[in-house]
C-alpha cells in the first residue's frame, strides 16, 4: 500500500470540530482528520480557534501524519479520524 500526504493546507471543519487533511492511498484520495480536542490535549495549541488549531496541526504535522499512516494501513485505506486516545500521553512531541 502506497500512502502519501500531499502538502495541501489543512482546513478547519466547524461541523465536527476537526482539522481535515488529505492522504493519497494507492493514488486515491482518502480524507483524514484530527479532532481539535486531540490537538488541544497533545500538541500545544496556543489559541482555541481555527487559526490556533491549524498552527498546532502544522507544527505537529509529521507526527500526526505518521499516526494517520498507521491507521490507513490497518484499515486498508479507509478514512481516518484521529482522536485524543490515538496519541499516548507524553508521546506527542517526540
Q: Could you identify the residue written with the cell 489559541? A: 47
pLDDT score recorded for residue 92: 44
Model confidence at 90, pLDDT cuts 50, 70, 90, reads: low
Q: Could you identify the residue written with the cell 501524519? A: 65
CA distance 13 to 92: 22
List, for residues 70-80, the tens digit of each pLDDT value. Answer: 999 999 999 99
- Enumerate the domain spans of the chain: 3-86
Model confidence at 94, pLDDT cuts 50, 70, 90, reads: very low
pLDDT score recorded for residue 44: 87
- Region 10-21: what's the mean pLDDT? 97
40 and 88 Cβ atoms separated by less than 8 Å: no
CA distance 20 to 33: 4
- Region 11-32: what's the mean pLDDT? 97
Pick the CATH number of 3-86 from 3.40.718.10, 3.30.160.140, 3.30.70.260, 3.40.50.1100: 3.30.160.140
In this structure, the number of other CB atoms found within 10 A of the CB of residue 14 comes to 8
Q: What is the DSSP string of 30-65?
A: EEEEEEHHHHHHHS--SSSSHHHHHHHHHHTHHHHH
Amino acid at each position: 500500500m502506497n500512502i502519501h500526504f500531499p502538502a495541501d493546507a489543512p482546513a478547519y471543519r466547524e461541523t465536527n470540530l476537526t482539522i481535515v487533511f488529505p492522504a493519497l492511498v494507492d493514488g486515491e484520495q482518502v480524507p483524514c482528520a484530527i479532532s481539535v480536542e486531540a490537538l488541544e490535549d497533545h500538541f500545544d495549541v496556543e489559541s482555541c480557534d481555527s487559526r490556533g488549531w491549524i498552527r498546532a496541526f502544522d507544527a505537529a504535522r509529521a507526527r500526526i501524519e505518521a499516526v494517520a499512516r498507521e491507521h490507513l494501513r490497518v484499515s486498508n485505506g479507509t478514512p481516518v479520524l484521529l482522536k485524543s486516545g490515538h496519541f499516548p500521553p507524553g508521546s506527542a512531541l517526540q
